[in-house]
């Protein structure tokens, strides 16, 4: 529970930080002097919620009772469902089949890149630890 709460706070803060960075970028680079408060709140809350579930959902990978394939499937299903519910609800992705398929393919490509990067990183860390243990 402590890990869940800690990761929740990190995700919420990271999501809020991204919302501020995106908003400042829109104001600075988009030459917009005025922002619609309702749209800002909707997008900020969406970003905060996104940050939360993307930092909490990797807890699946810490469940040693599940195989890596099960952990990955559960994690992918969780984040894809939550993200697209949020993205359609807020309007980040238009509610059309073409938009959904483009967004889903982009999501899958990025998911594969990140999953592979984390897998290779942790495999390398395990090899280092095993080498140190063998050296004792």
pLDDT digit string, tens, across residues 5-23: 999 999 999 999 999 998 8
Is the separation of the CB atoms in 76 and 111 below 8 Å?
Answer: yes
Residues in the chain, overall count: 136
Task: Return d(Cα 72, Cα 27) in angstroms, integer.
Answer: 38
pLDDT in tens, 41-87: 999 999 999 999 999 999 999 999 999 999 999 999 999 999 999 99
**Residue 26 scores a pLDDT above 90:** no
What's this model's pTM, rounded to 2 decimal places?
0.83
Residue 6 has a pLDDT of 94
Task: Return d(Cα 41, Cα 97) in angstroms, integer.
Answer: 27
Among residues 27, 22, 28, which one has the least CA distance to residue 43? 22
């Amino acid at each position: 529970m402590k890990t869940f709460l800690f990761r929740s706070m990190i995700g919420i803060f990271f999501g809020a930080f991204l919302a501020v960075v995106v908003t400042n970028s829109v104001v600075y680079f988009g030459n917009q002097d005025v922002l619609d408060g309702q749209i800002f709140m909707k997008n900020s809350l969406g970003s905060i919620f996104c940050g939360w579930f993307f930092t909490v959902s990797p807890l699946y990978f810490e469940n040693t009772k599940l195989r890596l394939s099960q952990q990955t499937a559960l994690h992918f299903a969780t984040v894809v469902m939550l993200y697209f519910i949020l993205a359609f609800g807020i309007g980040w992705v238009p509610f059309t089949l073409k938009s959904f398929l483009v967004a889903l393919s982009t999501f899958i490509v990025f998911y594969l890149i990140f999953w592979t990067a984390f897998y290779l990183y942790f495999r390398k860390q395990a090899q280092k630890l095993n080498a140190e243990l063998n050296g004792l």
